Structure formats: structure tokens, C-alpha cells
């Protein structure tokens, strides 16, 4: 990690005055009394104790921004957690904000893990949804209305829970499981035969290894969640890990198009305040908290 070049000088006079002088490259100086520094440390400790994830997110945001010129093209290194499950933390840069943000990914083999769509009667979090069902992973699903009702098609364990709307969501796609095989198709191509699990969301990002043309990107920087399928038919879950910044929809699409991921199809999930993921497998635990509870999740269980 590369930090700005500061020299810390504590001279005899500053020592007796209990003041620290920080000298920058241009010889500009700033002086801080010991009492002020102690007060600042206490405030930081209280914030960390009360809001640990937000505090860490802020720290990562600052350090990532400082190092953005070095990390924006970071290679993807997958870490194996067990048979059929890998994780990766990757830095990527927004073309709009020019800031670097971390994207956390989980790649699973559907021959080793079961996919289940989970709809909760009450709004809840990814961690609560996983812990309540025994899932090793939970990620927020599709969009929902102000009353907390999910939008779009939902199929759970072969049962049609909610039909596909006849109007709206024209650019939407459907992620579904047929046996151990995952699919992402345009809503017009979906056929409900022998489908075990399905969820509809908007928009599709990738099809046939190519970007979906005409993506309506409002150029808003938001937290993002998505689901993708690679050339081996593995399922990849991707979530931005920051409460302070995010990616445009175009940024997110470009990230998933990275050649080394070999993604053949991808679907955007609900983002912004809803974006969240919880993973607890073996000795590894990761919680990317959202800023809102949601009604629908994609859960993963070992076979």
C-alpha cells in the first residue's frame, strides 16, 4: 500500500509542548496538540465500535482512492474455499468517478451446490436470510415495490410463486435452474418447463459472451449486485463492497466482460441500498451489508 510521502518530526520544543509537527513535501507544516489527537482517536474508536462495517468501508474507500492508479487493472486471483467454491476480491475503477472500488465475487459449481430462491414474508437482510435457512450464501434478489413486494417472476422448488408480468420489464432477463444447469435468458425466451428455481430481474448485461447493446445507463454511481454464468456453467455472484461509492451500470457490465472471467451471460440484480451478500463457509465468513432490508434472496446450500 503506497501512502503520501510525509515525514514525522517531533522536535524538543514540540515534545515539551506535547505537539506533533507533520512536514509535507512542500515544507508546509501542521501542528496538532496531544489532547486533540487523543480526542480524535477516541472518536474513531467509538465509530469503529458502533459501525464497524461502515468504518472499514470508509477506510477501504480512502486507501483505494489513494492507490487507484496502481490497482485499477488488478488481476483476478481466485481463492479456493472448498470443492466447487471460490472467492475473489478485485479492484476496479469507475470510468465516471475515476475512483477505485472493490468487487467481491463468489464462484460456485452447481454440481456441488444447490440454488434456492428465498422469499421472506418480512423484509430482512442477507445474513438473517442465510442464518434462518442454513444457507452458506445469500445475495439480494430482484427489485421490489414500496410495499416490499417483489417484482417479476418467482419459482421456488418447481412451484410458481409469482407470474411474469405481462407489461413492463421489457429488457429484463430470467435466471433459472433446470436440474444442475443454470441459465440466463431474455424474458421472451423463458419457458416454464422442468424449471426448479427462477427469478426475474432487470437488465440483462451479457449474452453469448457479448455486451447487451442499448444498455440504458443513467450514469448514476450505485452499489451493484449481479449474477453470471461462465463458460464452465459455474455461477458467479458479484457485489460491490462499499457504502461510500459504487459503479455505473456500464462500469458493472464492463467489469463482468473481463476476458479472464469468461462470462457468457449475466443479469443485474437490485442495487443501491438493497445490494448485499452474506457468505459463511468453513472457516471463512464475509458480510457485505446493505442499507435496506429486502424481501427476496438467492440462497446457496451444499448438496
For 195-206, the pLDDT digits (tens) are 999 999 999 999
Query: Looking at residues 194-222, what average pLDDT do you find?
Result: 92
Q: Are residues 94 and 233 in the same domain?
A: yes
Contact in structure between 161 and 155 (CB atoms under 8 Å): yes
**What percentage of the chain has pLDDT greater than the value 70?**
77
| Residue where one domain finishes, among candidates 39, 55, 70 | 70
Using pLDDT thresholds of 50, 70 and 90, give the confidence band for residue 106: very high
Asked if the model's pLDDT at residue 296 lies above 80, the reply is yes
| Residue where one domain finishes, among candidates 55, 70, 85 | 70
151 lies in some domain: yes
Q: Are residues 295 and 280 in the same domain?
A: yes
Asked if the model's pLDDT at residue 37 lies above 70, the reply is no
112 lies in some domain: yes
More confident of the two residues 169 and 207: 207
Q: Are residues 20 and 109 in the same domain?
A: no
61 lies in some domain: yes
269: containing domain: 73-302
- The pLDDT score that the predictor gives to residue 45 is 66
Among 24-28, 118-122, 140-144, the minimum mean pLDDT is found in 24-28
Q: Are residues 24 and 149 in the same domain?
A: no
Give residues with Cβ within 8 angstroms of 18, minimum separation 6: 33, 34, 35
Q: Are residues 151 and 221 in the same domain?
A: yes
- The pLDDT score that the predictor gives to residue 67 is 42
Using pLDDT thresholds of 50, 70 and 90, give the confidence band for residue 97: confident
The segment with the largest mean pLDDT, out of 22-31, 48-57, 239-248, 283-292, is 283-292
Q: Are residues 65 and 79 in the same domain?
A: no
Q: Are residues 222 and 282 in the same domain?
A: yes
The segment with the largest mean pLDDT, out of 38-42, 119-123, 196-200, is 196-200
116 lies in some domain: yes
- Structural domains in the chain (count): 2
| Residue where one domain finishes, among candidates 54, 70, 86 | 70
pLDDT of 136-163, one tens digit each? Answer: 999 999 999 988 899 999 999 999 999 9
Amino acid at each position: 500500500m503506497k501512502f503520501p510521502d510525509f515525514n514525522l518530526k517531533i522536535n524538543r520544543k514540540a515534545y515539551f509542548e506535547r505537539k506533533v509537527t507533520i512536514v509535507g513535501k512542500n515544507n508546509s507544516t501542521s501542528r496538532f496538540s496531544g489532547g486533540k489527537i487523543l480526542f480524535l482517536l477516541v472518536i474513531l474508536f467509538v465509530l469503529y465500535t458502533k459501525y464497524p462495517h461502515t468504518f472499514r468501508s470508509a477506510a477501504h474507500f480512502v486507501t483505494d482512492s489513494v492507490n487507484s492508479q496502481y490497482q485499477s487493472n488488478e488481476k483476478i486471483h481466485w481463492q479456493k474455499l472448498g470443492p466447487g467454491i471460490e472467492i475473489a476480491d478485485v479492484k476496479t475503477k469507475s470510468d465516471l468517478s475515476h475512483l477505485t472500488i472493490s468487487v467481491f465475487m463468489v464462484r460456485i459449481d452447481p454440481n456441488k451446490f444447490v440454488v434456492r430462491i428465498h422469499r421472506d414474508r418480512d423484509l430482512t437482510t442477507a445474513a438473517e436470510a442465510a442464518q434462518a435457512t442454513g444457507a452458506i450464501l445469500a445475495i439480494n434478489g430482484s427489485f421490489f415495490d414500496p410495499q416490499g413486494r417483489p417484482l417479476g417472476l418467482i419459482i421456488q422448488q418447481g412451484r410458481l410463486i409469482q407470474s411474469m408480468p405481462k407489461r413492463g420489464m421489457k429488457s429484463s432477463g430470467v435466471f433459472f435452474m433446470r436440474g444442475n444447469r443454470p441459465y440466463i435468458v431474455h424474458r421472451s425466451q423463458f419457458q416454464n418447463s422442468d424449471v426448479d428455481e427462477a427469478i426475474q430481474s432487470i437488465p440483462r448485461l451479457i449474452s453469448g459472451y457479448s455486451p447487451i447493446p442499448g444498455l440504458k445507463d443513467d450514469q448514476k454511481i450505485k452499489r451493484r449486485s449481479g449474477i453470471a454464468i461462465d463458460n464452465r456453467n459455474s455461477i458467479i455472484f458479484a457485489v460491490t463492497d462499499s457504502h461510500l461509492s459504487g459503479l455505473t451500470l456500464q462500469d458493472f457490465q464492463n467489469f463482468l466482460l473481463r476476458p479472464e472471467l469468461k462470462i457468457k451471460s449475466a443479469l443485474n440484480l437490485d442495487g443501491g441500498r438493497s445490494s448485499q451478500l452474506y457468505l459463511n463457509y468453513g472457516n471463512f465468513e464475509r458480510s457485505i451489508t446493505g442499507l435496506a432490508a429486502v424481501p427476496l434472496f438467492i440462497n446457496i446450500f451444499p448438496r
